[in-house]
Structure 1
């Protein structure tokens, strides 16, 4: 679980750096490859955060189902 939080934190930091990179590239480089690089990096970070959130939610749902199954078996 801490591994997931670590990677989420890394992605969040990369996304903040990507936003700063976009601002810097727009201000001083006037478009071009640099802007698209930072935009792509931001998109990858955002997609990664959504993906890990989805995986975490699936794991929580799986654990809840398993807990319900165990409680049903105890009641019998």
Structure 2
């Protein structure tokens, strides 16, 4: 994958940080997620509202610590 650097204002970086679902999520992943949401909103507004609600619900769950780490998932799957 080819990579490039971009310059953004500090305030925009802070706003992007708010969209991260976990601290180690890359800005690339965060931006891809936002682009997906915008495209979805344009093509299917009703579905998009539900998607945004689900993302917000998932974000709250993750922020409150209600998620499985990779080691827990591996143990659960017997890997």
Which bracket does the TM-score occupy, shorter chain normalised? 0.3 to 0.5
TM-score (norm 2): 0.38
The structure that is helix-richer by fraction is 1
Structure number with bigger Rg: 1
TM-score (norm 1): 0.39
